[in-house]
Amino acid sequence: NAGVTQTPKFQVLKTGQSMTLQCAQDMNHNSMYWYRQDPGMGLRLIYYSASEGTTDKGEVPNGYNVSRLNKREFSLRLESAAPSQTSVYFCASSGGESQPQHFGDGTRLSIL
């Protein structure tokens, strides 16, 4: 029972490079989320998807794009990475806004 799977777990990029963080859930959840967490800080919402085919901006969307490929998968893309995007990225899924969120293990991203 995998739950929420994120890949990769670690990544180092150079400024200006692009990459896509992958997230997949096997719980048949409608809602999926991308958060970033900086050292000693809370979780800030980047983008979320309430259902397949829909995406909405969260608190800190600048510099990111997302794709809800199907009900299972929700990817996060950095088009031109900047050092300020160095962070731990968590993907989560839930059955709805007032349902528990289940988190993946996170992607630790460093941008040099």
Partner 1 sequence: QQPVQSPQAVILREGEDAVINCSSSKALYSVHWYRQKHGEAPVFLMILLKGGEQKGHEKISASFNEKKQQSSLYLTASQLSYSGTYFCGTVTWDNYGQNFVFGPGTRLSVLP
Contacts with partner 1, residue ranges (CB under 8 A): 35, 41-45, 59, 90, 97-106
Nearer to partner 1, 19 or 103 (CB): 103
Specify whether the CB–CB gap between 19 and 39 falls below 8 A.
Answer: no
State the Cα–Cα distance between residues 26 and 93, nearest whole angstrom.
Answer: 10
Q: How far is the CB of 56 from partner 1 (least distance, A)?
A: 9
Q: Give the residue from 27, 42, 20, 21 showing the smallest Cα distance to 91.
A: 21
Nearer to partner 1, 17 or 43 (CB): 43
State the Cα–Cα distance between residues 32 and 45, nearest whole angstrom.
Answer: 11
Q: How far is the CB of 82 from partner 1 (least distance, A)?
A: 23
Nearer to partner 1, 56 or 79 (CB): 56
